Amino acid sequence: MSLTRIRLLVWKEFLQLRRDPLLLRLLLLMPIIQLVGFGYVVSVDVRNLPTAVVDLDQTVVSRQLESSFTASGYFLVVARPDAETQLTSLLDTGVAKVALVIPQGTQDLLARGQTAPVGIVVDGSDSQIASVGSGYAAQAIARFNASRTAAFTGSLQAPGIDARTRVVFNPTLDPINTMIPGLVAAILMISLMSIMSQAVVRERESGTLEQMFVTPIRPSEYLIGKVAPYALLAVAQLSVVAAIGMLWFKVPFNGSVWVVFVGLALFLLISVGLGLLVSLISRTRQQALQALVFIMIPTMVLSGFIFPIESMPEAIQPLTYAVPLRYALTVLRGSFVKGSGFEALATPLWAMVGFAIVIFGAAVIATRRRIAE
């Protein structure tokens, strides 16, 4: 073993990095940007949970109870339906994650020295948010009861609120029921973007790309030929993952196959388009790999796949709307766990339509320009 040869090889690699400023910037800046960004994003403290309040009592006590929830900072009232029957739509569409139902006569029961039942309805489609939200609701009820006991002079123990929590869509709060649908989308994105990010740049390095573009081939033909094999493999892969999730892990499927098909088809176009764009703008496979990591890790974090979006700082949460995986997770979890249909999932589906048009359209334009060069 020659130390001189090793030293020369190391120096050669540094020279190659110096000739590739884009790769050098990615290597140096990516860890710093991700560390700073994730330091703000990573949190298990869920705040401002979207909450619906059904106040059928409309009394001083009911308003005090609501204030006990909102003053904690964990609940944000986004809707005030007139009847409990309206909660289904709010929870199904994701407008509300938690609901507080105050029955008529709550104040009268407390005035007579009796315990008053109050309903807490929690959306269990995200087991982590549901568990945390249930705990925060119990704390808010406990604070309300403690405040009444402190102000009550007739007895050592004042009559209080009896919270009756009901979890909908995922009553057992089994995390596997929400994790498997999320994994389906994550695996689709990782597989297709990883393959497609190397597809064009690999041919560019081998010299076959230029030879292909001097032929009469059209951009649309090139894209179809590139995408079709990997898309079929991705569909087969997803079918196996979904089958294992439902048969082995007993994950329930309560929705429509067509909703899942449309959602995955749109997300497939988005993932393919992103992978192609990375491959088209990269000059080497190392550049493509670094760019892929630079895109994929923030996508996984900001989508809500690892950490709930509600636990992120308010300044970060608007950024999540620019992450296509967020909408794919909403569609798949909504279909698998909630049984939501096209109407309830219209917003995330239309968002993915927009992303698919912009991203895949950009890939088509980039391919045409590459052929024209």
The pLDDT of residue 332 is 92
Spell 175-191 as b/e; 16+ CB within 10 A means b: eebbbbbbbbbbebbbb
Q: Do 272 and 362 touch, CB atoms closer than 8 A?
A: no
Angle at the Cα of 48 from the Cα atoms of 300 and 45, rounded to 5 degrees: 60
Structure-block tokens of residue 278: 């990375």
Do residues 106 and 61 touch, judged by C-beta distance below 8 A?
yes
Q: Residue 48: its pLDDT value, please?
A: 82
Query: Confidence class of residue 78 from pLDDT cuts 50, 70 and 90?
Result: very high
CATH 3.40.640.10 fits 49-168, yes or no: no
* Domain range list for the chain: 49-168, 175-372
Does residue 50 register a pLDDT over 60?
yes
Residue carrying the six token digits 């320009």:
369
Residue 13: which pLDDT band, with cuts at 50, 70 and 90?
low
| Closest by CA position to 75, among listed 58, 100, 94 | 100
DSSP 278-299: HHHH-SSHHHHHHHHHHHHHHH
Among 37-46, 312-321, 354-363, the least confident range: 37-46
The pLDDT of residue 42 is 57
pLDDT-based confidence at residue 354 (cuts at 50, 70, 90): very high
Instruction: Judge contact between 269 and 324, C-beta under 8 A.
Output: no
pLDDT tens-place string over residues 257-305:
899 989 988 998 898 888 888 888 877 777 788 788 888 888 888 888 8
CA distance 273 to 176: 30
Would you say residue 329 has pLDDT above 90?
yes
| DSSP string computed for 170-196 | -TT--THHHHHHHHHHHHHHHHHHHHH
Check pLDDT > 60 for residue 34: no
Task: Give yes or no for residue 238 having a pLDDT over 60.
Answer: yes
What token pair was written down for 12?
């050669």
Query: Could you identify the residue written with the tokens 């900001």?
Result: 302
Q: What's the distance, CA 116 to chain centroid?
A: 37
Residue 5 in this model has a pLDDT that exceeds 60: no
Provide the whole-model pTM: 0.79
CB-neighbour burial class of residue 319 (10 A; exposed 0-12, middle 13-18, buried 19+)? middle
Residue 100 phi/psi, 5-degree rounding, is -110, 120
